[in-house]
A and B are shown apart, each in its own frame.
Chain A
Amino acid sequence: MPDTVVNLVDSPALGVLIGIAGVMAALTVNVLFLVWLERKVSAWIQRRMGPTEVGPFGMLQTIADMLKLISKQLITPRHVDKPLYHIAPVFVFVPVVAAASLFPFDEHVSLQNLDIGLVLVFAFGGLGIVGIFMAGWGSNNKYALLGAMRAVAQNISYEIPLILSTLSVVLMVNAMGDANTNGMNLAQVASMQHDKGFWFVLVQPVAAVIYFIAALAETNRAPFDIPEAESELVAGFHTEYSGMRFALFFFAEYSNMFIVAMVATVLFFGGWSGPLLPGAMWFFLKTYAIVFVMIWIRWTFPRLRFDQLMSFCWLVLIPLSILNLLVTAFIARAV
């Protein structure tokens, strides 16, 4: 089991400070990199150049963008619901930071090692949805409200297959382990795949596919990006936000991509386990491979219509994940 940073430095206050500094640094670098990557990949898919001017291959473009956002005026529209409007960006941002600290990114070190890590990740995801709705309702803007309504309906619906698919992994881990095994502890799931010598995507392929589709919808990524469909809703729930407030939403959105990819890495792709390279490197390599596929999909598939989106979730994904859970439970019992 990995040691937490607090145990390693032997001082709770220092450990927490190091931890949060680490999380913030990692997430910020991740967002700056992902935005650049997304623009480059989309350019490559559409046979354009993408950003080229600032820095080598335009890599400093997002840093320039960030500096611009920091120096922008914070505009509060006249008719908004002030408390909701002001709290919403922070409310979306905070759960992301907390959720990102829960992952066992290495064999020996982690920031947190909680027994209900998996459930907490989803709980923080749920909190983010509340923030999105606060933003949409508080903005007093029709696009924002429409976007928020769609975002909430979509996110809560796809959370069910998301959790059900991970549940079959949890059940399987418990069935394979001994009495002390806890499938909700992310570090244990990763180390079990290392010990058994195979990735769980091989034994739970259906769960992995369902998880991936639901994760795309959870992060409002195309083909499920109806909550912020640019061509019909301007920017969805954050239409009225500009400057740093908008940056916080953007930060949360890209960090969420990173978080769902990390969950997939831990549950289905062996976490830190891998030959030669250090564990943390494997972990982030796998995570970014998954994120790359998510970007690839966004620039390949068109959007679904909203009713198709919802019925696909409730009539295909959820029954399939329930079935998968039942089969898993049966096999775990029979073997």
Chain B
Amino acid sequence: MSKIMRSTIFDVPSSLRITFGGPMVFLSRTAHNVRAPRIKYPLWYLQRERAKDDQQLTGDNRAFVKEAVHDKFGMPAVIHGISTYDVRSPLSEDSVECTNVEWNPKLQRTGLIARKLGNYPMWLNNGKSVLTTLLQVIDNHVIKYIPPDEFNPPRKPYSCPNHKKQLGCLLVGAESADPQYFTKQYCGLFYREGMMPKKYLGRFMVSPEAALQPGTPLLASHFRPGDFIDVRGKTIDRGFQGVMKRHGFHGMPATHGVTKSHRRGGNVGHGGEKGRIFPGTKMPGHMGNRYRLHKGAEILRINHKYNVIWIKGIASPGETNSIVYLYDTILPLRKHKSPPPFPTSKVLDNDQLIDSYKEDVYKFTEQTITYEEDK
């Protein structure tokens, strides 16, 4: 199976779990040379969407169901600029488990689920303009932690058979939603933790030391300005495309006797013994709609009020308003130099701190940039 499957399927209850005898390895964040994307079902072993059937409820009954939902989980509220529910999970009271473990570079922290908001320019203190991408961390909560021994995903990567079980799996959900619209099994995932069902789920491989209590909120302050992150998302689906758009070929001339081949790729093979098309030859085909990883994006600014992260560059995959996953970068030279919030940041009580910037980023509240005369 493709690696995409691997990285999107999360753990299932043991009753539903399909077990293979093979050894377990941790997920790879990106997939190369996979087959063209196709509809994969079931994407989640627990079916999420319920069939839309009219339950023929009266208006009163509908209101009662709504009230029951609000009674159980909490009233609708706008928190950090997102319309969600004021969840009263008993577990979120003493959220971060006090693990007195010091951070060291070998420990792997959890990631975040974010929405891509779009791009706009920012300026550096030297007057240079940089384009930034805005990512909003949308109402993230830890749903479940599966220790390394118990973690047994239905589909395993086969690239690394001798891998030792070292990392646990942290299930993170984003965007609370009304449980009426999901199946019973799907809601059951959250029920035990007293959480509302989440619209989006993500599976993050973490060191056992970085495990978090279910119900812990994850905020944008999990990262700091100046950190480097990897952004994983699904690229824009462009459909079946020719080589000029898909691989950036130059095509052929418009004139000089060329007919009907202006946008074609030209020769794809050799003659003689090599008289075949080699595997991996760049040819027309489906473009986009694949998971891709933008590695080593620098964080320039964080807004704590709306949980928005500004990263440098506009290369992160996906359209505006699509879901992306954020990780600490895997690039060796851009890893954390100083200890980050570990296992995650605490919820700040004071609302004083709204924006934090990297040192060399121009703040719009500052004076106009001027250069000093050199002598």
Are these two chains actual partners, yes or no?
A: no
- A residues contacting B by CB (< 8 A) are none
